[in-house]
Amino acid sequence: MNLLTGNDLASGDVVWWNGKGWSRQIGDAADVGDRGAIILAAEEAARRVNASYEIEADTSGLPLHIKDRVRAAGPTVRADLSVNPSIQIVKG
């Protein structure tokens, strides 16, 4: 599936497109199919997101690229600051 991610402009927080707005949790992320570019253009223009981009995820919603898995989880060396410690960083 295709997910949209970026950072909140003012806070810098990692955010995920949930179909209506931007969530801090990747678990809320919605599959945008082929509408990614259109949504991002509108959201960037309205400054509701910054540095946004589209990623591919597997059927469970886990990003295919490790960088996006780390973004979804938080720094793996600071469990105390993790957004989502259950994200599997290294695919077994």
- C-beta of 33 vs 46, nearer to other proteins: 46
Q: Which of residues 19-48 bind other proteins (CB under 8 A)?
A: 44, 47
Phi and psi torsions of 80, nearest 5°:
-65, -20
Binding part of the chain for other proteins, among 10-18, 29-37, 53-61 by CB under 8 A, reads: 10-18
Selected binder of other proteins within 75, 84, 85, 88 (CB under 8 A): 75
Provide the token pair at 41. 């253009």
Secondary structure (H, E, C), the chain: CEEEEEECCCCCCEEEECCCCEECCHHHCCCCCCCHHHHHHHHHHCCCCEEEEEEEECCCCCECCHHHHHHHHCCCCCHHHCCCCCCCCCCC
Selected binder of other proteins within 37, 41, 51, 79 (CB under 8 A): 51
- C-beta of 23 vs 50, nearer to other proteins: 50
**Interacting residues toward other proteins by CB under 8 A:** 7, 9-14, 44, 47, 50-51, 64-67, 70-71, 74-78, 81, 90
